[in-house]
Structure formats: C-alpha cells, structure tokens
Amino acid sequence: MLQGIKIVEICGIGPGPFSAMHLADLGAEVIAVERDASGASRVNVLNRGKRSVIADLKSAVGRELVLHLIEDADALIEGMRPGVMERLGLGPQDCQARNPSLVYGRMTGWGQSGPLAKVAGHDNNYASLSGALFHNGASEAPPSSAFATLGDVGGGALYLTIGLLSGILNARATGKGAVVDAAIVDGSAHMLQLMLSTRNLGFMSDERGKNIHDSSPFYATYRCADGGFITLGSIEPQFYSLLLEKLGLQADSRFVWQWDRRFWKEQHQHFTELFSSRTRAHWCELLEGSDVCFAPVLAPSEAALHPHNTARGTWFERDGLLQTAVAPRFNGEVVQPASVPKTGEHTEQIMGILNSPARGSVWQSS
C-alpha cells in the first residue's frame, strides 16, 4: 500500500526501527543507516524489508551519504537525544535545505522540549510519567510494564508512523516538509483518552484496585492448576450470565449481583480457587470459542502455535527467526514481508551508485 514512499532511517534502538519496519512491511522503500559496523554479520528482525548500509555519521563521508539519500526521500527517521543530529550537521534545517519536502521524524521518549528532554529514559519511565502505567497490575502489587509494547511501540512507534504518513500526505499536496516530534510520553498519554471516556460512566478512578480491570472478578487473570493463566472479560450482562452457566454458578446467590462491589472480593476468591483446581487446557476446552470473553495467557512461542493464529498466519518462522506477520491486512490478504538483511549488507551497492559519475537513483536498485 505504501509503494513509492521512500524512508531513510538513522538506526537506533526500539521505536524508531519498529516504525521503519512497519512502513517497510506495508510497502515503503526503507534504507537503514547503521552506525556500528561491529555487528556486520548480525541479523535483526526489525530490519526486515529494509536495505542496510553502514556509515560513520561523525565523518564527512557519512554525513554526505545521508544527505545524498534524503535528496529523493519522503521522510527521515532518527531517535537521538535532542540536539545530537544538529551537531552532526544532519538536523532538520540541514536536511530540508537539501530537500524542502522532507518529513523529518524525531522519535524520543520525552520529546524535543521540556525539562526532561535531554535526559535518559526507557519505555517504563515514559509510560509511568504519562499516566499510562498507573493502572497496570493488581492493587497489592506495583504497577507493571508490558515490555516495550505500552511505551516504545504503542505510545512511540505507532504515533511516529502516523505522524510521518500525515506529513507525507501534506508534503505531496503542498511541497512543504514538516518536523514530527513523536514523544512516547505524549503518545502513551494520548492512548489514555479511551480510558478517560469511561470515567464519566463511573468505571474508572484514580485509585488502583477499585476499577473494573483491577478489582472485578469478571475482568481478571487467574492462575490454573498447572501454573498457566487464563483471562476473563465478561463485562456485559449476557457474557457474565454465560460465564456463570458454563461454571455451574447461575444459581449461586453470591454471583447474582454482578455490579455490587461489596461482593467482588468474595467472588474473586471463589473464582481464584475454582480456576486453580483445573489445568489451563481444561478451561480452554470448556470456555474457549464461547461468548464468555475468554482466552488463555500464551507465551509468544505458544501463541505462534494456537489454531486461531495459525489459521490467520499471524506468526511465522523464516531462517530460524520467529516473526509476526504484517498488520493491518488489506482486502483480507496476508502480506508477506521481505527478508531480513545482514547489517551493512547493501553498503557497497548503495555507495557504488552514489559514487558513480553517472549517479543513478538508489531507490531503483534493490
């Protein structure tokens, strides 16, 4: 769907590479500029679909390579601390002087401005400051972070991607580029808007352990006899009634009043004991595929083998690397992502084109 869109990625860690991979998955042409040649034989699944070159950005040659590449590019992605790209002579003004329609994507945790802009941080720090981490986990335990998904991917990479595509659409209409300030602290805060909409309905508060997802017995995670876990999400009355029917509890007076919080603790304790009495496989056989709103908690290696995921082709293995399929899908088709290059695999090819007396377009050579 994104054929003809050209992206230069200044490689870093986490959300920037994920965003660039996502764009490549959807058809964009991506050249990844790697700054470290020490892993030249290494493969990184976040580089799938890209071409990889190695360049020292502190050198005149490396700087000129990037400036050559962005001449015909739609966007650049970088994830350094504020001011670093400017010191390298590759900041937005430098690059847009070479290509005025360039969309310059800046991926950071804290953003390009603010008191914390230049300090170090990671996914869990940004999500905690934005408010997104607060409600994760049970009330008696510290809030927990789902590794890299809540901040780096959800609040970071996906917001950078939509910012880039918005900027590219505008640039193609007006000829004018833009600078996209994609901060994880902003994106993960923006994701809370759906949760905030439930506050007026009385479902959420600023107290942990007093909300549907962290204290109700019908929207919870339970341990099974074999150490596995299952999740329930039986919020709507018809789903809750079906749950009680499946568990043989429809006549139990303790479960009549679903929304009476006075009974939640006792109900939760009963469910805890019940689910811990049988294996995860038992509960899957009883509840999976029904409208109870149920699913087992699967490790990635297990998820890759689940019948629903295999039917949809959600996971695959190539060259010994477990990977996830391209998302979203268009017209019901599963897009097959391109291969994962070795670090620097295309350096000689691209440098040869750029150094040729009759220099051609690197974007037409794959």
122, 213, 282, 306: which is the annotated catalytic residue?
Answer: 122
- Average pLDDT on 19-33 reads 96
Phi and psi at residue 321, in whole multiples of 5°?
A: -110, 120
Which residues partner with 222 through β-bridges? 230
Q: What pLDDT score was predicted for residue 25? A: 96
Burial of 237 (0-12, 13-18, 19+ CB in 10 A): exposed
CA 204/CA 190 separation, integer angstroms: 17
Long-range contacts of 119-124 (CB under 8 A, 24+ apart): 122/151, 123/14, 123/147, 123/148, 123/150, 123/151, 123/152, 123/156, 123/184, 124/151
Quick one: which of 26, 19, 35 has its CA closest to 103?
A: 19
For the record, the structure tokens of 280 come out as: 């995860």
pLDDT tens per residue across span 232-242: 999 999 999 99
Active-site annotation holder among 152, 186, 214, 346:
152
pLDDT at 357 over 90: no
Q: What is the pLDDT of residues 299-330, one digit of tens each?
A: 999 999 999 999 999 999 988 889 999 999 99
Q: What are phi and psi of 244, to 5 degrees?
A: -60, -40
> 237-247 and 280-287 helices cross at what angle (nearest 10)?
120
Whole-number pLDDT of residue 196: 87
> In this structure, what token pair is assigned to residue 86?
């400017």
pLDDT of the residue at 199: 80
Rounded to the nearest 5 degrees, what angle is found at the Cα of 312, between the Cα atoms of 337 and 123? 65
Q: Whole-angstrom Cα distance, residue 82 to residue 92?
A: 11
Q: Which two tokens stand for residue 74?
A: 């739609």
Kindly state the average pLDDT of the residues 335-341: 89
Q: Enter the pTM of the model.
A: 0.93
Other residues' Cβ atoms within 10 Å of the Cβ of residue 159: 23
Length of the chain: 366
Give yes or no for residue 365 having a pLDDT over 70. no
Average pLDDT, the chain: 92
Which range has the worst mean pLDDT, 22-26, 38-42, 81-85, 315-319?
A: 38-42
The reply to whether 122 belongs to the active site is yes
Residue 366, pLDDT above cutoff 80: no
Q: How confident is the model at residue 10 (pLDDT cuts 50, 70, 90)?
A: very high
pLDDT of residue 255: 93
91 compared with 318, residue with greater pLDDT? 91
Tell me the pLDDT tens digit for each residue of 113-172.
999 999 999 999 999 999 999 988 777 788 888 888 999 999 999 999 999 999 999 999
Average of per-residue pLDDT across 18-46 = 88
Region at 134 (left for phi over 0; alpha for psi -120 to 50; beta for the rest) = alpha
Separation between Cα atoms, residue 282 and residue 305, nearest integer Å: 18
Residue 200: pLDDT band by 50, 70, 90 thresholds? confident
Cα–Cα distance, 3 to 26 (Å, whole number)? 8
- The beta-carbon contacts of 223-227 under 8 Å, at least 24 apart in sequence, are 223/272, 223/275, 223/276, 224/275, 224/276, 224/278, 224/279, 224/280, 224/282, 224/283, 225/276, 225/277, 225/278, 225/279, 225/282, 226/279, 226/280, 226/281
Domains and CATH numbers, the chain: 6-191+336-364 (3.40.50.10540), 209-310 (3.30.1540.10)
